[in-house]
Structure 1
Amino acid sequence: MNHPQKLYKYRSFNPYTLRLLCEDKVYYAHPNSFNDPLDSNPTIQNDLDINSLKNLYQRMHENDSKRHIGKIFEFENHFGNNQELTIQEYKVEQSTHFKMCAANQCDNMKIQAKDEADFIQKLTKECKTFLDKKLADWGVLSLAKRWDCPLMWSHYADNHHGICIEYDTEKSYCRTLNSVDYSGQRSIKASDLMQSELHGSIEAWQKIQKAYFFKKASDWKYEEEWRCLASARPGEHAAPFRISGIYFGLRCDPAVIKTIFLLLCNQNEPRVSFYQINDLKGDYSLDKNEIDFDQRAIYYAGGFLLRKSDNRLLSEFII
């Protein structure tokens, strides 16, 4: 998918934002922390016969058990040369055990179910649980397509007191950068899970990813959101893009502007651009003016920012 050359992150100005800028990091959020509980929380639409659904459940149960054991044991470090079982033998032994456990659990569910419809519902619910656990360690970096959305400034940048970070996506190393789809249903077909889990279908897995992470209700359409996924644990990671610009909100404190400029002005080429957000008279649109913060043409005197060319005070940025 073609993506915009620039994407944006609206943020409040606080010590955490400052640290992310200092360390050139971004925060990948866990879906459980999203402000919309329906976001990244799809349902499973069963389109399989009961036997196929049982097979899917058992395979997902097995895979979940393998992941769980894999987290407990780091096999290469856990087993020494003197161990009776090799790593591969251990995996084979455990795989057989997992299959037996999955089959027994499936039989127990069938016994406890009121009828076939209840059994299908239980199987479908468990498949969703296994999928959630599989994706529990994935993080989401949320970005915006625009820097000039008043609602985004209000909701995510401290009511225009904050900043908007511009990222250049031209040399991105994010392999899962996609736009959010605000149409359709928030559901995943059981047949796609079957193709992915039992047959290793990449196409089916991509459909699952899209339905899980890249769909939101139409009410959120104003965000024009793009997302980048990290399969490592949620949290701070190196930024997958280069910062190319900083936009300062309508109400941004001049001290914040000076602080961020001093932090980023010495970065290597290409240099970071700085913009002040302005309102358009008689309109509700936002505009921008580039701030001439070329360090080679500016010096400081008595806490004021002066331009060498004409020694003119930049009064709007008095600290």
Structure 2
Amino acid sequence: MNKPFDIVNFGEEPTPPLLVYKYLSPERVTDVLENQTVRFMRLLDTNDSFEVRATFRRFAGPRFVKLMEDFVTEKTTEAHVDKALARKLDEIGLSSMPPIMAKVLFKEKFGKDLSAYMKDEMKARLPALSAALNALQTPEDFLNELGSSLLCFSLSETYTSAPMWAHYAVNHTGFVLEFDTAHPWFRNISDKQKSLLRQVKYVDGQLDEALDDPHAAFGSKTADWAYEKEWRVYCKF
């Protein structure tokens, strides 16, 4: 398996249940139980024909602008500006000049406070940045590329779903395998406290922008599939 991929690393993730289950057909006994192998599937090839769909209208909207404005505010505090000035002065051979002096010279020459000027200039460019992001690629094209490049291993938090026994276990002739989500296989390589399991959201319609609900934008299925109560591990294809 390729390196696990965190499809959505944004905000708080729901905690996986202690146990998850995989419905399997009877012919999978050898490769799963005896050979101890599991199958990852490309997102474009899952059973939901609307798996990879236009879940959001645009990449950047008001939430994106607000996020960027907060970032600009954080990065244009006096402390951050002083550090950036010190690095720049050192690069041009003026390391002996205190940042405060450089700011005084800037204000004398341009009549503006440097920190406030930087903040205003950066915020003024945010609408153009949003427009450029939205023009770069359509959500449909992006999601199709994502669906082509990601594989997923799908599990369920229930083993008593009659439709899933019928569909995935071939009319109740197959079996269900139980997985312990505390096992290291489900843990993030760089942070063992984090699980690789991601809960699938079930939503219809479209979000205005991706940041309205990143988990729904990049990891959801239509509400018709909610009975599956699905959790996934993703990896790059």
TM-score by length of 1: 0.41
Matched residue, 1:56: 133
Q: How many residues are paired up? A: 151
Q: Does 1:211 align with 2:223?
A: no
Q: Does 1:41 align with 2:47?
A: no
Matched residue, 1:116: none
**C-alpha distance in 2, partners of 1:139/1:126?**
22
Which segments of 5 or more consecutive residues in structure 1 lack a partner in the other structure?
A: 58-122, 193-203, 234-319
How far did 1:51 drift?
A: 3.1
Matched residue, 1:297: none
Structure 1: 4+ residue segments shifted above 6 A: none
Q: Counterpart of 1:26 in 2: which secondary structure?
A: coil
How far did 1:13 drift?
A: 1.3
**C-alpha distance in 2, partners of 1:219/1:131?**
20
Matched residue, 2:19: 6
**C-alpha distance in 1, partners of 2:169/2:55?**
32
**C-alpha distance in 2, partners of 1:188/1:31?**
23
Q: Counterpart of 1:226 in 2: which secondary structure?
A: strand
From the two aligned structures, give the one with the greater strand fraction.
Answer: 1
Which segments of 5 or more consecutive residues in structure 2 lack a partner in the other structure?
A: 1-13, 62-125, 189-194
Matched residue, 1:173: 187
Contact 1:188–1:211 (Cα < 8 Å) also in 2: no
**C-alpha distance in 2, partners of 1:153/1:3?**
22
Contact 1:41–1:212 (Cα < 8 Å) also in 2: no
Contact 1:186–1:216 (Cα < 8 Å) also in 2: no
How far did 1:167 drift?
A: 0.7
Matched residue, 2:81: none
Q: 1:160 to 1:146 in 2, by over 3 A?
A: same
Q: Which has the larger radius of gyration?
A: 1
Q: 1:186 to 1:6 in 2, by over 3 A?
A: farther
Matched residue, 2:226: 221
What is the identity, as a one-letter code, of the residue corresponding to 2:156?
Answer: A
Q: Counterpart of 1:141 in 2: which secondary structure?
A: strand
How far did 1:124 drift?
A: 6.9
Q: Counterpart of 1:136 in 2: which secondary structure?
A: helix
Q: 1:25 to 1:131 in 2, by over 3 A?
A: same
Q: Counterpart of 1:140 in 2: which secondary structure?
A: strand
Contact 1:177–1:226 (Cα < 8 Å) also in 2: yes
Matched residue, 1:147: 159
Contact 2:57–2:139 (Cα < 8 Å) also in 1: no
Matched residue, 2:71: none
How far did 1:9 drift?
A: 0.5
**C-alpha distance in 1, partners of 2:200/2:179?**
18
**C-alpha distance in 1, partners of 2:33/2:207?**
37
TM-score by length of 2: 0.54
Residues 24-71 of structure 1: CA deviation (Å, up to 9, x unaligned): 2221111111122211323442354973344226xxxxxxxxxxxxxx
What is the identity, as a one-letter code, of the residue corresponding to 1:45?
Answer: R
**How high is the sequence identity, in percent, across the aligned residues?**
26
| Higher RCO (C-alpha under 8 Å, 6+ residues apart) | 2
How far did 1:217 drift?
A: 1.7
What is the identity, as a one-letter code, of the residue corresponding to 2:17?
Answer: P
CA-based RMSD = 2.9
1:1-319 correspondence runs (5 A): 1-14=14-27, 16-46=28-58, 48=61, 51-56=128-133, 123=135, 126=138, 128-134=140-146, 136-171=148-183, 172-173=186-187, 175-183=195-203, 185-187=205-207, 189=209, 192=211, 208=214, 210-213=216-219, 215-230=220-235, 232-233=236-237
What is the identity, as a one-letter code, of the residue corresponding to 2:180?
Answer: D
Matched residue, 1:117: none
How far did 1:18 drift?
A: 1.7
What is the identity, as a one-letter code, of the residue corresponding to 1:179?
Answer: Q
How far did 1:223 drift?
A: 1.2
**C-alpha distance in 2, partners of 1:229/1:144?**
15
Q: Counterpart of 2:172 in 1: which secondary structure?
A: coil
